[in-house]
């Protein structure tokens, strides 16, 4: 999960992500951020996130993103 | 030709009173409701001020009520200046200082904030409108004073000195554009316009008046959906969106994540882009998956609205830049060289425009207006004004205009004249690069390429660019960023990158 926080903080430098929820409603995840986040997650965790999983529920919090990554790793 | 865009609203309200005109996440409004609320708004404004052809600020969230308030200002014989509640306060104050608007339209949710910077202006809230009686005689009297050459809106763009410039556009510019739209594409009242652009960005003018002209529907797409492409397409299908005009960045994620493997837009038949260079690899993806839809690349600075258009054929050579096409009706395009003379056929020059696309100028700023709206140096004695776009173009063999770069991005390096846009086009062809921008570092005399996507080995990147451009154009420095900065309109923020150089 720390790795996800690190990736997010790298992509959106002005935001705090530890324990963060409500990422979608707060407008933090602009399309360009989502796009880069997915390619970083794919590379870092050697997964291939399908566009069908690129939905708000899977990106609304750091925990949700972590759960998504684990689903692909499992 | 119509004198006032409200003629289109009156026409559609008469023909399709019960059809939905506007829709957002909260509500829908029929043409009858839009007309009625706009006329009540106009009456409320006209009772406060006797002025016509003055700017009325509309300060709202992005929603369809704002659209009604825009139209209401027109019924009062005035024009509107859209401000978004999400804009930084310093920018709002700077714009209010330039407009000196007597009246600010808003809603209850924002009236507190508005009163803080109203500075004596009257504040009218959306919630007060239903209790306001319409005064047809008063509206008719005010509107009779407005001609096709009078302002329809003023939109603010960033000025180089940091003070925003208000571009004033008249009714006839939009009327001319709508008639071109009607002649070029067979749209009717069944069209559904899917709005992406902010309401203070002139791309949304196409959505608003396009819908009104045809008696069609404008749906505001929730901005958050542009981050979640499958949801975006689901929404488009649910709302039966048949046409849109977006900035290219809005469609890139859809292509980059190969969304159409999951779901395709079922109702789209006319797809248009404007506002920045169209990344070819993403456009190709859309065209391949929507073979029955038509695609168009539109071009136009705020100062000329949409002034040229290219209808994509699908036959364009792979990897080439999509042209910006030819002038729309009643618009003339000139390519002028450094001496202000017509450039030789096929040669690069500055695109200058004349005709029915031209803004009146910058609000309350005659110096800036005179600097860019000038007499045509290519045709001595011609009384007509032209607008110097600052964009470099050339004409291809088919007579279509090709956008090369901003004139400001043309640099002199090692004695060569270089268009940074050409290097960017070469870099865009590299699959690992998603977005990129070249900036010239004057101090160190080197070209810097900023890019996002996948970080690449510098040597390999250099070799791949070297294979496409001459040696003197190969960047001296490569900077990978996880995300290139974008400005509020969704374009890559060159200024922010240059500042950090």
pLDDT category at B161 given cuts 50, 70, 90 is low
Judging contacts by C-beta atoms under 8 Å, the chain B residues touching residue A50 are 262
Q: Is the dihedral of CA B276, B282, B284, B286 positive or negative?
A: negative
| Extents of the domains making up chain A | 2-73
The pLDDT of residue B266: 98
Interstrand relation of B361-362 and B349-355 (parallel, antiparallel or unpaired): unpaired
C-alpha angle B490-A14-B454 in degrees, rounded to nearest 5? 60
DSSP string computed for B11-44: HHHHH-TTSEEEE-SS-EEEHHHHHHHHHHHHHH
Q: Are B30 and B21 in contact (CB under 8 A)?
A: yes
Integer Cα distance of B101 and B104 in angstroms:
7
The pLDDT of residue B144: 96
Of A27, A31, A40, the CB nearest to B253: A31
Give the burial string for B121-152 (b: 16+ CB within 10 Å, else e). Answer: bbbbbbebbeebebbeebbeebbeebebebbb
Per-residue DSSP letter, B134: P
Nearest-CA residue of chain A relative to B481? A11
The pLDDT of residue B378: 64
Q: Which residues contact B114 (CB under 8 A, 6 or more apart)?
A: B59, B104, B106, B123
- Cβ burial of B279 (10 Å; 0-12, 13-18, 19+) is buried
Q: Is B214 helix (H, G, I), strand (E, B) or coil?
A: helix
Residues B6-220, CATH architecture:
3-Layer(aba) Sandwich (3.40)
Q: Which residues contact B392 (CB under 8 A, 6 or more apart)?
A: B348, B349, B350, B351, B403, B404, B405, B406, B407, B410, B419, B421
Chain A and chain B share a number of CB contacts under 8 A equal to 67
Of B228, B454, B483, the CB nearest to A32: B483
Note whether B62 contacts A: Cβ–Cβ < 8 A.
no
Interhelix angle B203-214/B6-15, nearest 10 degrees? 40
| Extents of the domains making up chain B | 6-220, 414-499
- Give which of B418, B404, B423 is closest to B464, Cα–Cα: B423
Residue B79: pLDDT above 90?
Answer: yes
Token pair belonging to A17: 């992500």
The pLDDT of residue B501: 57
Token pair belonging to B311: 């209808």
- Top-confidence residue, B243 or A1: B243
pLDDT in tens, B96-144: 999 999 999 999 999 999 999 888 899 999 999 999 999 999 999 999 9
Q: What are residue B382's phi and psi, to 5 degrees?
A: -70, 120
Question: Cα dist. B442→A26, B152, B472 in Å?
Answer: 39, 41, 15
Judging contacts by C-beta atoms under 8 Å, the chain B residues touching residue A30 are 227, 486
Q: What are residue B153's phi and psi, to 5 degrees?
A: -150, 165
The pLDDT of residue B162: 56
- Cβ burial of A31 (10 Å; 0-12, 13-18, 19+) is buried
Q: Are B229 and A52 in contact (CB under 8 A)?
A: no
Token pair belonging to B444: 């160190």
Of A24, A29, A36, the CB nearest to B452: A36
Percent of chain B with pLDDT over 70: 97
Overall residue count recorded for chain B in this entry: 501
pLDDT category at B11 given cuts 50, 70, 90 is very high
Of A11, A27, A50, the CB nearest to B483: A11
Integer Cα distance of B310 and B323 in angstroms:
6
Note whether B198 contacts A: Cβ–Cβ < 8 A.
no
CB spacing of B486 vs A32 below 8 angstroms: yes
Interhelix angle B64-75/B6-15, nearest 10 degrees? 120
pLDDT in tens, B377-412: 766 667 689 999 999 999 999 999 999 888 877 787
Q: Are B233 and B254 in contact (CB under 8 A)?
A: yes
Question: Cα dist. B126→B13, B72, B85, B224 in Å?
Answer: 21, 11, 15, 25
Q: Which residues contact B342 (CB under 8 A, 6 or more apart)?
A: B334, B335, B336, B349, B378
- Top-confidence residue, B148 or B471: B148
Q: Are B164 and B157 in contact (CB under 8 A)?
A: yes
Q: Which fold has domain A2-73?
A: 1.10.1200
Question: Cα dist. B324→B94, B203, B297, B309, B395 in Å?
Answer: 33, 16, 6, 6, 10
Identify the H or E element spanning B151.
strand B151-157
CATH number of the structural domain B414-499: 3.30.300.30
Residue labelled with tokens 């993403």: B282
pLDDT category at B5 given cuts 50, 70, 90 is very high
Q: Are B122 and B103 in contact (CB under 8 A)?
A: yes
Note whether B253 contacts A: Cβ–Cβ < 8 A.
yes
CB spacing of A51 vs B229 below 8 angstroms: yes
CB spacing of A31 vs B261 below 8 angstroms: no
User: What is the nearest CA distance from A11 to chain B, expressed in angstroms?
Assistant: 6
Question: Cα dist. B123→B74, B111, B370 in Å?
Answer: 17, 8, 34
pLDDT category at B158 given cuts 50, 70, 90 is low
- Give which of B7, B102, B98, B16 is closest to B54, Cα–Cα: B102
Q: What are residue B232's phi and psi, to 5 degrees?
A: -60, -45
Nearest-CA residue of chain A relative to B86? A27
Judging contacts by C-beta atoms under 8 Å, the chain B residues touching residue A59 are 227-228
Mutation target to probe the A interface, by most A beta carbons within 10 A, among B234, B483, B486, B490 is: B483
The pLDDT of residue B238: 98
Note whether A4 contacts B: Cβ–Cβ < 8 A.
no
Interstrand relation of B401-406 and B385-395 (parallel, antiparallel or unpaired): antiparallel
pLDDT category at B51 given cuts 50, 70, 90 is very high
Q: Is B213 helix (H, G, I), strand (E, B) or coil?
A: helix
pLDDT in tens, A14-34: 788 988 889 988 888 888 789
User: What is the nearest CA distance from B278 to chain A, expressed in angstroms?
Assistant: 16
Token pair belonging to B7: 């003629």
Token pair belonging to B485: 């900065």
Q: Which residues contact B165 (CB under 8 A, 6 or more apart)?
A: B156, B157, B158, B159, B362, B363, B365, B368
The pLDDT of residue B133: 96
Token pair belonging to A3: 């790795």
């Amino acid at each position: 999960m720390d790795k996800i926080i690190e990736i997010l903080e790298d992509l959106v430098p002005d935001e705090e992500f530890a324990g963060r929820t409500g990422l979608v409603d707060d407008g933090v995840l602009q399309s360009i951020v989502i796009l880069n986040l997915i390619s970083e997650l794919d590379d870092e965790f050697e997964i291939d996130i399908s566009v069908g999983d690129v939905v708000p529920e899977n990106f609304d919090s750091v925990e949700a993103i972590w759960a998504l990554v684990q689903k692909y790793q499992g | 030709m119509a004198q006032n865009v409200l003629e289109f609203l009156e026409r559609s309200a008469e023909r399709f009173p019960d059809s939905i005109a506007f829709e957002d996440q909260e509500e829908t409004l029929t043409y009858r409701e839009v007309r009625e609320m706009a006329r009540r708004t106009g009456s409320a404004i006209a009772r406060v001020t006797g002025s016509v052809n003055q700017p009325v600020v509309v300060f709202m969230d992005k929603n369809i009520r704002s659209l009604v308030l825009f139209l209401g200002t027109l019924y009062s014989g005035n024009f509107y200046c859209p401000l978004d509640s999400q804009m930084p306060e310093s920018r709002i104050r700077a714009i209010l200082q330039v407009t000196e608007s007597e009246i600010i339209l808003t809603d209850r949710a924002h009236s507190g904030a508005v009163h803080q910077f109203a500075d004596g202006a009257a504040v009218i809230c959306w919630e007060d409108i239903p209790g306001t009686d319409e005064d047809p005689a008063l509206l008719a009297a005010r509107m009779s004073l407005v001609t096709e050459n009078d302002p329809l809106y003023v939109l603010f763009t960033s000025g180089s000195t940091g003070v925003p410039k208000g571009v004033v556009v008249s009714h006839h510019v939009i009327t001319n554009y709508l008639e071109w739209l009607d002649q070029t594409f067979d749209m009717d009242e069944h069209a559904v316009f899917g709005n992406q652009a902010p309401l203070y960005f002139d791309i949304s003018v196409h959505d608003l008046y396009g819908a009104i002209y045809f008696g069609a529907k404008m749906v505001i797409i929730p901005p958050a959906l542009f981050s979640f492409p499958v949801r975006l397409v689901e929404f488009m299908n649910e709302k039966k969106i048949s046409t849109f005009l977006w900035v290219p960045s809005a469609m890139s994620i859809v292509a980059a994540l190969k969304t159409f493997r999951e779901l395709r837009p079922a109702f789209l038949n006319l797809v248009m882009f404007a506002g920045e260079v169209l990344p070819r690899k993403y456009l190709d993806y859309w065209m391949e998956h929507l073979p029955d839809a038509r695609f168009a690349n539109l071009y136009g600075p705020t100062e000329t609205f949409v002034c040229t258009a290219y209808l994509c054929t699908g036959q364009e050579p792979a990897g080439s830049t999509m042209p910006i096409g030819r002038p729309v009706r009643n618009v003339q395009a000139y390519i002028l060289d450094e001496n202000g003379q017509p450039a030789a056929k096929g040669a690069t020059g500055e695109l200058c425009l004349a005709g029915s696309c031209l803004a009146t100028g910058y609000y309350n700023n005659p110096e800036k207006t005179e600097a860019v709206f000038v007499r045509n140096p290519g045709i001595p004695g011609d009384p007509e004004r032209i607008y110097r776009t600052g964009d470099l173009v050339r004409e291809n063999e088919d007579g279509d205009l090709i956008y090369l770069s901003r004139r400001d991005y043309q640099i002199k390096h090692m004695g060569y004249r270089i268009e940074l846009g050409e290097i960017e086009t070469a870099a865009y062809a590299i699959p690992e690069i998603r977005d990129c921008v070249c900036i010239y570092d004057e101090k160190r005399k080197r070209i810097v390429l900023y890019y996002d996507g996948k970080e690449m080995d510098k040597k390999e990147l250099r070799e791949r660019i070297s294979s496409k451009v001459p040696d003197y154009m190969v960047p001296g420095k490569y900077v990978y960023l996880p995300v290139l900065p974008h400005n509020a309109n969704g374009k890559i923020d060159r200024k922010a990158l240059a500042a950090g150089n």
